[in-house]
Amino acid sequence: MYLLGKIKELRNNKYFVKYAKNTFWLIADNATKLIVGLLVGVWVARHLGPEDFGIYSYAISIVAIFGGIATLGLDNIVVRELVDKKECREKTLATAYVLKCLGATLSLLLFFIVLFCFDFSTETREISIIMAFSIVFQTLNVIKLYFQSIVKIKYFVISSVLSVVISGSVKVYLILSDAPLISFAKAFLFESFLLSAFLVVLYRIKSDTKTKKYFLDLNLAKSLMNDSWPLIFAAIASVVKLKLGHVMLGNLGTYEEVGYYSAALRISELWFLIPVLLGTSIYPALIKANKNGAVDLRDKVILITRAMLLFALPFAIVVSVLSKFIIVLLYGNDFEIAGKYLSIQIWSGLPYVVLFAYSQVTYIIGKTKIHLYLSILSIFSIAIFNYLLIPLIGGIGAVYASLITNALGSCLMIFLLEREMRIFTKGIRNV
């Protein structure tokens, strides 16, 4: 009876129902990406083979690093503004969009400078250029931020699912047609276009905002950039931690090793979706908890962290033990070596998954400079350890470099944040 009473109480709680529905839609989105992305992605890898799949992944990594610049670190800051200042929603969206357009322009400019100043193969250069134009469509991510702030993420999910399913179907057609590598680069760009197109359509149908009245508010732009500029480096660093291994392997090792590394990373990255899944719904709730006081925020962060640890640790152990079986089952015997990569790589994500709620506190209390320090550490650490370890032990060196970097970054974040707001240590002190 007690349990039934609690269930009824939750069902009558409009805030719980609102966030529960939001979470359900995110589960549907990520389940679709998981199923379609994994099955089609594995099929693409089998079709291309380790070397061509390595070139494909290498090009994606180069584009992803420059795509990190285009975000300008604005996403969490914009959501915070949309939640806290509803009366300025239209102005915030319009300003954020213009800033993202400027970021995309800068990103593409830097991309072409690097691409033609360094010695890339003709094939790598061609597919990288095609993929790079996905950065243009990335600017419309502001629509997702709008839906996230009003806890109606289902409209983004509908756009995402449609784009994933359609582009997945295109990739299957390319595989059955024995299409060359460059065709898959075009499919990558097509998926970005589809997502943006669906987002625009749903925004025009479901939104009552009138952003056409606004263009760029300079004062708001300065305020947003003042908070987000450290996060630009953080956004780059987060991509670098995942993608620099591909790039340095391509330069210091072989494309075949890039293929093994990418195959293992595709699986280990799957549980990175968990913080994204939960964080999109939990972040607005943590903002509200902070308004209730430091005690409420601390309690919620600790509860989430404990829950994630209880899930993440056993999961990492199971995947590590069964890594070779998982790789051969999905990718085939040609990728068997990637099993060793996965057994170590799965542990790199443990700090990120467990501490995701703790990390969001930095945005809520305005201590975004912590991410600047983490960015500096991550970029230097991943570059140094890759440079030292890849020549010694090959592709597996990139895995160890990622593991060491993530561990060092988590330790530094805890050290810096506990000085500002004590959550894991005894007592609470707001600054």
CA atoms of 11 and 7, how far apart (whole Å): 6
Over the stretch 80-134, which tens digit does the pLDDT of each residue have? 777 777 667 777 788 888 888 888 898 899 888 888 877 777 888 889 899 999 9
Q: Which is more confidently placed, 213 or 223?
A: 223
CA atoms of 257 and 394, how far apart (whole Å): 8
The sign of the CA dihedral 82, 85, 86, 87 is negative
What pLDDT shows up at residue 430? 43
Q: Which of 59-63, 150-154, 421-425 has the highest mean pLDDT?
A: 59-63
**DSSP 8-class letter at 8:** H
Over the stretch 243-287, which tens digit does the pLDDT of each residue have? 777 778 877 878 888 888 888 888 887 777 677 666 666 777 777
- Tell me the average pLDDT of the chain: 79
Over the stretch 4-54, which tens digit does the pLDDT of each residue have? 444 454 455 555 555 566 666 666 666 777 777 778 888 898 888 888 888
What's the whole-model pTM score? 0.69
Considering only CA atoms, which of 145, 95, 129, 107 is closest in space to residue 235? 107
What pLDDT shows up at residue 428? 44
Residue 91 phi/psi, 5° resolution? -65, -40
